Amino acid sequence: MKKIGIICAMDNEFALIKQTLAHGRTAQIGRCTFYCAEYAGKDIIAATGGIGKVNAAACAQMMISNFGVECIVFSGVAGALSDKLHIFDIIVANDVMYHDLFPASLLRDNFPNCDCFPTDARLAELAETVCTELGLHCIRGRVVSGDQFITDSIVKARIISDTHGDATEMEGAAVGHVCYLNNLPFAILRCISDGADDNGEMDFDTFVEQAAHRCAKLTLGLVERI
């Protein structure tokens, strides 16, 4: 049976997934709780890893090393960088990149030609198909990550100019980095909760629950089709 990892950062992003896997068991590794259940004929290992790059990286590596997952899907919310993205739209990442690594070319010292981590093309295509089926507006693009919640139009403009990112969050590039090191396919799915601008905090508070729920639905739909 295929073994699939699902990671969220926050409990509200994880709620529907946890509910869907409620018939399974939990496993504790260190301070992380993993929800393990069969769903749609697959073995699912799912967890709330916590906010930020280190939490996401540690959770991804635990899933790989302790459970042997064959791919990882990250499900959650993001701030829009691209004008093409509005509240509740979905971005399916083509690649992920850090926006707080300076100079970004440092990664190339270890990994030639590597400024960003490409997601798995098949998983991304499947996710796009599920969006169409669920009536969710979706674009493919670049998701950029850093240990910073962006609620400032000037910072937003700097990130766009540095990275050409379409959406920003705090975990995707770390998960991509860990999957890259382990040669594992991964997908980063995000629903827009805010514009990462001066209204970002208020919009996030207003829209995060619904955006998180939409992304979780998409993620479960993707898992059904993998």
What positions carry a catalytic annotation?
A: 13, 194
Q: Which is nearer to ligand ADE, 75 or 126 (CB)?
A: 75
Interaction of residue 169 with ligand ADE, rule CB under 6 A: yes
- CA 208 to each of CA 41, 89, 160: distance values in angstroms, whole numbers, following the listed order: 30, 12, 22
Interaction of residue 50 with ligand ADE, rule CB under 6 A: no
Identify the residue among 17, 73, 127, 170 touching ligand ADE (CB under 6 A): 170
Element (H, E) at 214: helix 200-225
Q: Which is nearer to ligand ADE, 51 or 181 (CB)?
A: 51
Strand partners, 35: 26, 46
The full length of the chain comes to: 226
- Give dist(CA 169, CA 98) in Å, integer: 10
Interaction of residue 78 with ligand ADE, rule CB under 6 A: yes
Identify the residue among 44, 77, 212, 226 touching ligand ADE (CB under 6 A): 77
Residues that bind ligand ADE (CB under 6 A): 77-79, 149-151, 168-170, 193-194, 196, 200, 204
